[in-house]
Structure 1
C-alpha cells in the first residue's frame, strides 16, 4: 500500500486570499445592499487590495464580511454605523481586530452563524455558477500544480469549504 497525503487547500496548495476577499464582497453586497450603493469599482478594488493586508486577522471566513464592511465605513462616512471606523487605519485593524470585532458586531446587530451561512452560501453559489472564475481567484503557489500532477501517492485535498469539489 502506498503513502497517503492529505493537503489543505487554503494556504497550503494555494493563496485563497483573493477568492475569500471576492466572496466576502459578494456576500456583503447581499447582506448590506444599501451600503454598497455608494461603492464604485475603484473603491471595490481598493477594498480587495486592503483585504490582502488585513487577511492575517481572519480566523473564520465570515470575518471577511465584517472587514469588507468596516473598510467601506472607513472610506464613506455617510454610511458609517460603527463607532470604531472614524480615524481607523489598516494598521489599527491589524493591531486591534480582536477588540474591534465584538464592537462592530454589536453595533451592526450581527450574529456569527448567519454570517457564516451567508458567506458559505455565496461562495457555494459562485462555485456552482462560475467554477472557472472561482478557481481563477485562488492562486496556486508556484510549482504546486506540477507537483500534484506528478505525485506518485494518493492525494486528498482537505478543506472547510461548505461544498466538496470532486
Structure 2
C-alpha cells in the first residue's frame, strides 16, 4: 500500500449543515398536506411550539420523512382529541427522544402510513419551496461555522454520504458554501445503507493507500460500521456539534473505535 493522502466520507445534516430549521418547516408544510383535518386545530402559537420541540427531537431523525411523523405525534400530545394512536397517551417529548426506534413502526402502522409515500411528499414539498422561494429555503439552513471554508480548501478527497436526497445536498453546497462536489461523490438517499456506500468507496482502485475517515453525528450509524469487519480500516468520528445527545456522546467515549471530534478540529483535519 502506497502512502498518500486522506479521504473523508462526511455525513451532511448535523456534520456540515444545520438543516433542522428547514427540515422542520418543510415537514410542517408536508404534514398539513398529508393530514389537513388534524391541522385545522393547530394555531400559529402551537406551530411555534412544535418547531421548537423539533430541535430537541432532531437527534432521533435518520431520514427526513421521520420529521412528519414527529410533527404529527407532537400535535397528538397537545390536542388529545386528534389522537389516532394509543402510544401518544401520556407520552412526553423526553420519552419520544428515548424510545423513537420502538415508537416509529407502531405509529406508522396505527396511522396506516408508508415510508415511500412520505419520502415522496417530503421531497415534493421541498422542491415546491425551492421553486417558489429559493432564497427563503436556502436561508432556513446554515452551515456550521468553519465547515464551508474547510470544504473549499480541503486537500483531502471528500465524499458526502447522506440520507438526504442528493439534489438538496448539492444545492446547499453550491449556494451556502460555494463548493461544487462532483455528483459521483455525493451519495444521497436511495444509494443504499451507509455501510454499503463506505465499502464501495474503499474498493475504488484510485483510493488505494489513502487513509479513510468517516465523520458522522449519529452514534447508531457508527455502531453499524463497527459491526462490519470489512470496514475495519476506517477511522470513525462522532461530531460533538451535531444532532446527538449527551448520553450518546458519553457512550461513544467508551467505544475504542470512535473518536469524538470538536468542530474546530474537524475544520483543521480537512485542511
TM-score by length of 1: 0.86
User: Within 5 A, what are the aligned runs for 1:10-159?
Assistant: 10-147=13-150, 151=153, 158=160
Q: Answer with 1 or 2: which has the greater Rg.
A: 2
Aligned residues of 1:7 and 1:155 also touching (Cα < 8 A): no
Q: Deviations over 1:1-26 (max 9, x none)?
A: xx997755422222111111111101
User: What's 2:165 paired with?
Assistant: 161
Counterpart of 2:84 in 1: which secondary structure?
Answer: coil
**Whole-angstrom CA distance in 1 between matches of 2:131 and 2:166:** 12
**Whole-angstrom CA distance in 2 between matches of 1:134 and 1:38:** 26
**Whole-angstrom CA distance in 2 between matches of 1:99 and 1:58:** 13
Range that drifts further, 138-147 or 83-92: 138-147
Aligned length: 164
Aligned Cα root-mean-square deviation (Å): 2.3
Q: 1:94 to 1:117 in 2, by over 3 A?
A: same
TM-score by length of 2: 0.55
**Whole-angstrom CA distance in 1 between matches of 2:45 and 2:71:** 14
Counterpart of 1:34 in 2: which secondary structure?
Answer: helix
**Whole-angstrom CA distance in 1 between matches of 2:24 and 2:54:** 6
Q: Deviations over 1:94-132 (max 9, x none)?
A: 111111111111111101110111111111211121111
1:142: Cα distance to partner? Answer: 1.7
1:79: Cα distance to partner? Answer: 0.9
1:143: Cα distance to partner? Answer: 2.8
Aligned residues of 1:4 and 1:153 also touching (Cα < 8 A): no
Structure of greater relative contact order (alpha carbons < 8 Å, 6+ residues apart): 1
Aligned residues of 1:15 and 1:140 also touching (Cα < 8 A): yes
Structure 1: any 5+ residue segments left out of the alignment? none
